Chains A and B, each alone.
Chain A
């Protein structure tokens, strides 16, 4: 089990990114949920979770992302995942998340285009 490192960044056009480095599992998912909650508390901000640096995510991480997406969606705010190949990307495809949650290859994509 590895630790997790979260980096939050305010993008130019109303998006906030949370970059995840490390493994998201039962032991670390709480940190991710806490970071997501912080962004949710920032009114009007949209969120992109950058998973390009994450090496593994179990079903608890998957659930955290799905629940976060529902909250942002209900509040009329943008929610996206940044994945570009790699292990987590396979899980996202397999679970069908990419069909219900907006996915991009990098946060820059959102920074340039906006929601």
Chain B
């Protein structure tokens, strides 16, 4: 499904089906390596060991030394590698396999040291005991196995490069044997390894290379993206560059020139392969990231199409206004939701049965559906209390008990008598309401603590008269916060100054207040303006 594109990353760019196929292939190669090593050993048994002298010469006698050591390496790689994908082996078997491989690597070091100690035959063409060459292969592959099973990316890459190096060297020798010119092996590993050893090394190298197909260089090669396809096409060509060059140069034999070309071709082939891997990996990551972003964008668009009407409807629920029949007064409300969040602001301005005007603002701490729903609930309970005839103080006292212990809310309840202009205002830790008169501004500070901050809190209330032309502004802390100051004056004070100078009708005042606030808020912004007309 197009929407389920994996996120970019070394371990996630691979198609699981491709990974399984490659892992199975790697396991098959490792089993083949073990089987072939067994065949080599059986061949030695049937040929007999009588002709092989004991002691250090064992190291020098390639058929025995390579058969035994490569067999150990194959078994080690089998245990260390297969545990990564098979639950049938316990972690101790994995450690056992790694230990075997490291042991083989050390044995390889020993072989090469012994060989170098006796320098007489280092580059001797006549030498038929290529301990040095087998030693090199043991060292490289012996360290490649524990590196390849590591969870650290650079180690996996190093292990795979080692396996590639051995593959490239021994595959050429293997092909040369098939081509009918065993001396070609001398160009790559001097002295050359035997035909059997070249087969064993190729099997092992491929088996080790495919231990972790979803990591390292292979993460790109096995990726379903365009970079993966590119590498799968061109990788084998680059990998066989040494063999192709060798084939070409063998058509025109030229001693030393051939040697140089052969060695350079191996290095060049590997270099190109690694370069190609990194290049297509970058390409792949970009392509997959783009696909992921596109999928996310599609999901977001669908979500918006599906949810926008619901959100819009919810917004209307958060802020109720019904002042039908109210004469001599203006009411305006504004609401701007926090960017990317649903916060806990809710408000209502409503006519009461006794003809008064009730206004309620609630601000729940937190973001998300829970505080939003609780805010609506508290707002309605406060309003219902007013409808039932409670005063703002009584309403606050009733509702306080209904706030859950893990919630924190500020609230403001206002009751206005339209006839007399008498106002009662109770504020539970809410930002100050602003009373804008014709000549001065008054901030109505809270008359009690936040709801449920303490049990049975005693609330007080402001009572005052609004003259014709006076405006009462109540807003949430998303609009004006007492902590923000400029020139020594808090935001509510600054807002009051502005409204005194520029205020007018309720709707204009509401627009001014919302314009004063941050246009991309992280919190909800609610404004309620009540004005006694002139």
Binding site for B on A (CB under 8 A): 25-26, 56-60, 62-63, 66-67, 70, 87-88, 90-91, 94-97, 99-100
B454 contacts the other chain (Cβ, under 8 Å)? Answer: yes
B323 contacts the other chain (Cβ, under 8 Å)? Answer: no
Contact between chains at A95 and B410 (CB < 8 Å)? yes
The contact sample of 24 A-B pairs, CB cut-off 8 A, is A26-B367, A56-B483, A59-B366, A60-B365, A63-B365, A63-B408, A66-B450, A87-B482, A87-B483, A87-B484, A87-B485, A91-B482, A91-B483, A94-B432, A94-B445, A95-B429, A95-B449, A95-B450, A96-B448, A96-B449, A96-B450, A97-B450, A97-B453, A100-B453
Contact between chains at A94 and B454 (CB < 8 Å)? no
A99-B449 contact, Cβ under 8 Å, with A70-B405, A87-B485, A90-B483: yes
Contact between chains at A63 and B366 (CB < 8 Å)? yes
B461 contacts the other chain (Cβ, under 8 Å)? Answer: no
Contact between chains at B446 and A62 (CB < 8 Å)? no
A58 CA / B483 CA spacing, docked (Å): 9
- What residue in chain B is nearest A98 (Cβ atoms)? B449
Contact between chains at A90 and B490 (CB < 8 Å)? yes
Give the chain A neighbours of B485 by CB distance below 8 A: 87
Contact between chains at B484 and A97 (CB < 8 Å)? no
Give the chain B neighbours of A99 by CB distance below 8 A: 449, 453-454
Q: Looking at the complex, which one of B428, B454, B490 makes contact with A100 (CB distance below 8 Å)?
A: B454
Give the chain A neighbours of B429 by CB distance below 8 A: 94-96
A62-B365 contact, Cβ under 8 Å, with A70-B405, A95-B446, A96-B457: yes
A26 CA / B448 CA spacing, docked (Å): 25
A91 CA / B431 CA spacing, docked (Å): 9
A62 to chain B, nearest CB (A): 7
A79 CA / B450 CA spacing, docked (Å): 18
Contact between chains at B367 and A66 (CB < 8 Å)? no
The main secondary structure of chain B at its interface with chain A is: loop
- What residue in chain B is nearest A96 (Cβ atoms)? B449
A94-B363 contact, Cβ under 8 Å, with A26-B522, A59-B408, A99-B454: no
A18 CA / B431 CA spacing, docked (Å): 27
Give the chain B neighbours of A97 by CB distance below 8 A: 449-450, 453
Give the chain A neighbours of B446 by CB distance below 8 A: 94-96
Top 10 nearest A-B pairs (CB, nearest first) are: A96-B449, A87-B483, A95-B429, A100-B454, A59-B365, A63-B365, A63-B408, A90-B482, A95-B450, A96-B429
Interface residue count on the B side (C-beta < 8 Å) = 28
A3 CA / B108 CA spacing, docked (Å): 55
- What residue in chain A is nearest B338 (Cβ atoms)? A26
B406 contacts the other chain (Cβ, under 8 Å)? Answer: yes
- What residue in chain B is nearest A67 (Cβ atoms)? B406
Scoring B367, B408, B446, B483 by chain A CB atoms within 10 A of each residue's CB, the highest score goes to B483
B523 contacts the other chain (Cβ, under 8 Å)? Answer: yes
Contact between chains at A66 and B453 (CB < 8 Å)? yes
Give the chain B neighbours of A94 by CB distance below 8 A: 429, 431-432, 445-446, 482
B398 to chain A, nearest CB (A): 18
Q: Looking at the complex, which one of B408, B428, B457 makes contact with A62 (CB distance below 8 Å)?
A: B408
Q: Looking at the complex, which one of B405, B453, B523 makes contact with A95 (CB distance below 8 Å)?
A: B453
B479 to chain A, nearest CB (A): 13
A91 CA / B482 CA spacing, docked (Å): 7
Contact between chains at A57 and B454 (CB < 8 Å)? no
Give the chain B neighbours of A88 by CB distance below 8 A: 483
Give the chain A neighbours of B477 by CB distance below 8 A: 58-59
Given contacts A26-B522, A95-B446, 17 further A-B contacts (CB under 8 A): A59-B363, A59-B365, A59-B408, A59-B477, A63-B366, A66-B408, A67-B406, A87-B482, A87-B483, A87-B484, A94-B431, A94-B445, A94-B446, A95-B449, A95-B453, A96-B429, A99-B453
Give the chain B neighbours of A66 by CB distance below 8 A: 408, 450, 453
- What residue in chain A is nearest B445 (Cβ atoms)? A94
B163 to chain A, nearest CB (A): 45
A20 to chain B, nearest CB (A): 14
A62 CA / B366 CA spacing, docked (Å): 11
A86 to chain B, nearest CB (A): 8
A91 CA / B363 CA spacing, docked (Å): 15
A104 CA / B403 CA spacing, docked (Å): 28
Give the chain B neighbours of A67 by CB distance below 8 A: 406
- What residue in chain A is nearest B406 (Cβ atoms)? A67
A88 CA / B445 CA spacing, docked (Å): 16
